[in-house]
Structure 1
Amino acid sequence: MQTRDIFANISPLDHRYSRDEDDYAEISKYLSEKATIALQAEVELALIKVLAARGLAPQTAPAEVEKAIAELTTAEVYAEEAKTKHNIRALVNCLQKKVSKKCRPFLHFTATSYDIVDTANSLRYQKTARELILPRLKKLHKSWAEIAFREKDRVQIGRTHGQHAVPITFGFTIAEYVARLGERIEEIEAKTDKLVGKFAGAVGAYNASSIFFDDPEAFEKEVLAELGLKAGEHSTQIVQAEPMTDFVHTLVSTFSVLAAFADDMRQLQRSEIAEIGEFFAKDQVGSSTMPHKRNPINYENVKSLWKAFMPQMTTVYLDQLSEHQRDLTNSASSRFIPELITALLSAVSRLTRVSSKMVVDQKNMQKNFEQNKKMIVAEPLYILLAAAGHPDAHEAVRKLTLEAQKTDLSLKELVAQSKELKGYWENFRDLQKEIILKPEKYTGIAAQKTEKIVKNWQKKFAYELQLEV
């Protein structure tokens, strides 16, 4: 049942790419403004807990603040901000109104606003990565691994520069993305763990906390430990920028892997290639005017989302710069990181859905391979001739390929007719001859490599695959 008017929103992430209510609610739990304020309040609670444990705040203060947070609404914080013109002061004022006079002085005690903001951001992006991004990426990864293993022996023509190259297998094509996405997932995990918080005060020198504590760094450590975070080695008024920059970079580079996969699969759906297809629903329409069309809309959508959000990485790099101990030039721009994450999650969901229903056209894959079957053995032929002692094997085979293009003869037949190459064929071993006679055998270790990659990541991510082909 629809509980929000998605069409009253401005961002297409709301009204077009998050129409699933359950999915929207799950993402909103981490990335909405409501979630932002809730996590900022959680940082204030962590401070109160440590102050109480150290004997400064009343022992009842943590329970009071916890109750106040439960009653807090985003709307009242925004109403207060309309008066204060300061978001964190508004949050503190709202919480202070809900607790006793004895507790009030210790809300935000020794803190600066970005002790709260930056720490809350690191906390929410850690939660988002661990509870949303990584599980969904691993689900997509599993889907690709299953396709790769299933198709590990299916011969496909390799393509470089848009031209037919030497044979591979379709499983090997997909295994590229199994490996690339697997490595990106590991990078996200690593950079998520490195997100840090701070509780070092207005310029990061612990000026306020050092008045009360002989060990202000230990105090900071205790506050952040309540949230499962660590402190950066050095902060100013803000957390050092690099951990967040590195984290977002891993998300953008992961998005790029998804876009590359989508583009490859989109190209394989071209009419003149048609080696795979997207599942097409019974009532789905491909074109407003051409009823026969079945456009690769899902893959195109993923590439289009990537085009919209990949450039945001430039803004994140720009946000590494802050004058002296702090300026406000990242205060607006950093608020758009949740949109990037939401777009990434949309792309992941779309690719997971379409990958699970990928249709492989075996006949077209074979037909495309057959197109240049007589030519694709040029590489092994030239290498075998060179190994047999021919002084200019590459040039000899190049001339044969030109001749083959003019005739219906295969390279093998032209070798047999060539006076220059007479005698070389007999020097080839039976297995080497078979590769020239049966180009479909010339796939190197594509199948074995695919299986190795799939099983490597299956072990790392500890998921079960249906490994029967």
Structure 2
Amino acid sequence: MPDPLDAVSPLDGRYAGRTRPLAPYASESALLRARVHVEVEYLLALADLDATPLSIDDDQRAALRSLYEDWDGEDAQLVKTIETEGYEDLSATNHDVKAVEYFVRLNLPDGLDAAQWIHFGLTSEDVNNLAHRLLVRDAVEDVLLPELESVRETLTGMAREYRDVPILAHTHGQPATPTTFGKEFAVYAARLGRAEARLRAAAEEITGKLGGASGTLAAHVAAYPDVDWRAFSREFVTDLGFEHEPLTTQVNPCDDLAAVFDAVRGANNVLLDLDRDAWLYVSKRYLGQEAAAGETGSSTMPHKVNPIDFENSEGNLSKANSDLTFLADYVTTSRLQRDLSDSTVKRNIGAAFAHCLVAYSKTQSGLAKVVPNAQVARDDLESTPEVIGEAVQTILRREGDTAAYERVKELTRGKRVTIEDFHDLFDDLDVDEEVRAELKALTPAGYVGVGSELVDELE
């Protein structure tokens, strides 16, 4: 295995440990295995047609399926050797899908004469579109969604734990009606839950194509005109777990993949917002960070504990979103019935997902290190009593004071005020003593509405 320090990409170098879970779905070996999967299942489907003379018994079927089920590095290397160097009496194919076809041919079970049926009537895109989708679907369902769910569970736990810890809110960067840490974490947990649902739905709606060189199944019909190839194509694709797309050129249009990429980007945008807010809360010291033993925060300032996990996540999410936007825009176009420019582009799907995975784990690491600094948050609240102005003018309106807003605005807008300034205002008001007491009971820390109860809205 190459030394990670020699890797061209940080995904296979610095972050190799974090991206390793994607290797079974995003590596070259994974793509070769998925192609073998499609070729083998297609061969078995042909054998199930009454029209073909191909017969494959149960033992031979198991042996064929073992080609992708027991896939290993030696298998991947053999396919690559067939492609680039040739093998035994085979010349180098210089074609990756043809190399897969020959790999299956070389590994046919004893007694099975089926070489001529491998890749029968297919074009490479019939294999590739299904192989890529097997990998994308499983990468989303097996890797990305569980990581997102883990982040959401962490946020949900923090929302419940800190539901009653008040903090000063900021709208337009200015002090605003207080909220609670728990409620703010709950907002992100709820948003992430909705984003997960959209991503899961997009992954479940991936489509597959089996239509030949220009989407007409012409070669199949020429060989066996009496077979219902439309039905065959539909059954084959749905058996792989995809919706069948009957109307295509040589290329599956990829609108389904674009929807997946957009859904991933939607989840990433939620986490970008979270990362930036967490960074600001750390900056304001509302969130404290646990210092890791032996860790250096700055090469020159020994005191620093930097929010590096949130910053790293933000950078990787931004890179991922750039790649995902490019992918979604690019893969949905192809000149006339086919051009090959999308082939190299699709090989970068795994890299986009890898940046996502690094980011998700970094956000999780960041959340694990932060704890609300309740005293700092409370001190900030107490030093910003003007935020109860909203409550004051609303109560006075309730009591029929048509100038309530203007009265509070004159006292507070652009000024530094104290709670005593409010109390002096209350003493001058012509209101019932009960209302005066109600006003004097207002405090910034207590002015959080149903913030803590909103946490219960989380499922």
TM-score when normalising by structure 1: 0.88
1:142 to 126, 149, 153: 153
Identify the residue that residue 130 of structure 2 maps to in structure 1: 119
Q: 2:185 aligns with which of 156, 167, 174?
A: 174
Query: CA contact under 8 A between 2:234 and 2:246: conserved in structure 1?
Result: no
Q: 2:315 aligns with which of 304, 317, 327?
A: 304
Q: What is the CA distance between 1:278 and its match in structure 2?
A: 3.1
CA distance, structure 1, for counterparts of residue 233 and residue 217 of structure 2:
9
Q: Do residues 59 (structure 1) and 56 (structure 2) align?
A: yes
Equivalent-residue separation in structure 2 for 1:402 and 1:191 (angstroms) = 48
CA change 1:187–1:407 in 2 (3 A) is closer
Match of residue 423, structure 1, among 430, 434, 439: 430
From 9, 13, 16, give the equivalent of 1:15.
13
The 1:314/1:136 distance shift into structure 2, 3 A limit, reads closer
- Cα distance in 2, alignment partners of residues 384 and 135 from structure 1: 47
Partner of 1:255: 268
Using a 3 Å threshold, how does the CA distance of structure 1 residues 199 and 429 change in structure 2: closer, same or farther? Answer: farther
Asked if the contact 2:383/2:418 (under 8 Å) is kept, the reply is no
Per the alignment, residue 77 of structure 1 pairs with 79
* CA spacing shift, 1:46–1:159, aligned 2, 3 Å: same
For the aligned residue pairs, the C-alpha RMSD in angstroms reads 2.3
Secondary structure in structure 2 of the residue aligned to 1:145: helix
Opposite residue 277 of structure 1, the aligned amino acid is: G
1:28 aligns to what?
A: 23
Query: Structure 2: how far apart are the matches of 1:197 and 1:11?
Result: 31
The question of whether the paired residues in 1 share the 8 Å contact of 2:262 and 2:325 is answered with: no
* CA–CA separation in structure 1 for the residues paired with 2:94 and 2:243: 30
Structure 2 match to 1:42: 37
Deviation at residue 199 of structure 1 after TM alignment: 1.1
> Is the deviation greater in 98-107 or in 62-71?
62-71
TM-score (norm 2): 0.89
- CA deviation string 1:394-453 (max 9, x = no partner): 222110114962677432322423xxxx314647386x5365x32322211111111222
- The answer to whether the 8 Å contact 1:52/1:62 transfers is no
1:401 aligns with 2:412: yes
- Does structure 1 residue 343 correspond to structure 2 residue 321? no
* AA matched with 1:47: Y
Counterpart for residue 207 of structure 1: 218
Unaligned runs of 5+ residues in structure 2 are 85-91
Are residue 268 (structure 1) and residue 281 (structure 2) matched?
yes
Shift of 1:208: 2.1
Choose from 445, 449, 453 the match for 1:448: 453
Secondary structure of 2:170's aligned partner: strand
Q: Deviations over 1:371-396 (max 9, x none)?
A: 202x1111111222223222333222
- Say whether 1:229 aligns with 2:227: no
Q: 1:365 aligns with which of 359, 377, 391?
A: 377
Can you give the 5+ residue segments of structure 1 that lack an aligned partner in the other structure?
457-469
Which among 92, 95, 101 is matched to residue 104 of structure 2?
Answer: 95
Query: Match for residue 158 of structure 1?
Result: 169
Q: 1:425 to 1:11 in 2, by over 3 A?
A: farther
Identity in percent? 25
Distance 2:454 2:412 in 1: 30
